[in-house]
Amino acid sequence: MAVLAKVRAAKRAAMRAGEAGTRTEYIAFGLAGETYAVPIGQLAEILRPPPITEVPRAPRAVIGVVSVRGRLVTVVDLRVRIRLPPASMDRRSRILLVDNGVEHVGFLVDDVQQVWRLAPEEIEASNVLGGDQAAHVAGIGRPAGFEGNVLILLDLRPLAESA
């Protein structure tokens, strides 16, 4: 029965996935002079901004829609989304594509900088910043040996759910 074969294949795949390193790769990007970072696994792709079609009467944070190889993607200004002052696009602007399970959502950032591999002990919980942090702030990254580099770790998935 075809159904059973599929079940078995899924179980095998789950077993194979067991081994992975303890360090997590984060991709760092700039927003209004600060450095932010997201787990690289949350991103589907990084794009140079194509021409963006404005959607009248859309929520404020939405810049518009673009087509990425036939797939329609809503582009959100990440600055506006997390309540930073908006800025205009330039040559270094990039769009981070996130798959929220239903569709891809694009987040416009100022620039994309580098990849950091962070061990769990290099990550501080978000509550060091004080009481109520928004759900999208996952913690603070302090890569060992690079004192002075502070990464604000974001979880883009809740941000990709709505604007």
**Residues that bind another protein in the complex, under the rule CB under 8 A:** 2-4, 6-7, 9-11, 14, 50-51, 53-60, 62, 64-67, 70-74, 76, 100, 102-103, 105, 161-163
Nearer of residues 122 and 136 to another protein, judged by Cβ: 136
* Shortest Cβ 69–another protein spacing (Å): 9
Rounded Cα distance between 10 and 31, Å, is 40
In sequence order, what are the beta bridge partners of 163?
A: none
Closer to another protein by Cβ: residue 34 or 161: 161
Rounded least distance, CB 141 to another protein, Å: 28
Which lies closer to another protein via its Cβ, residue 101 or residue 131? Answer: 101
Closest distance between another protein and the C-beta of residue 111, in Å? 23
Q: How far is the CB of 51 from another protein (least distance, A)?
A: 6
Helix, strand and coil content of the chain, in percent to the nearest 5, comes to 20, 40, 40
Per-position b or e across 69-80, b if 16+ CB within 10 A of its CB: eeeebbbbbbbb
3-state secondary structure 72-123: EEEEEEHHHHCCCCCCCCCCCCEEEEEECCCCEEEEEECEEEEEEEECHHHE
**Least CB distance to another protein at residue 132 (A):** 24
Q: Which is nearer to another protein, 3 or 20 (CB)?
A: 3
Which of 56, 130 has the CB closer to another protein?
56
- Do residues 23 and 117 touch, judged by C-beta distance below 8 A? yes
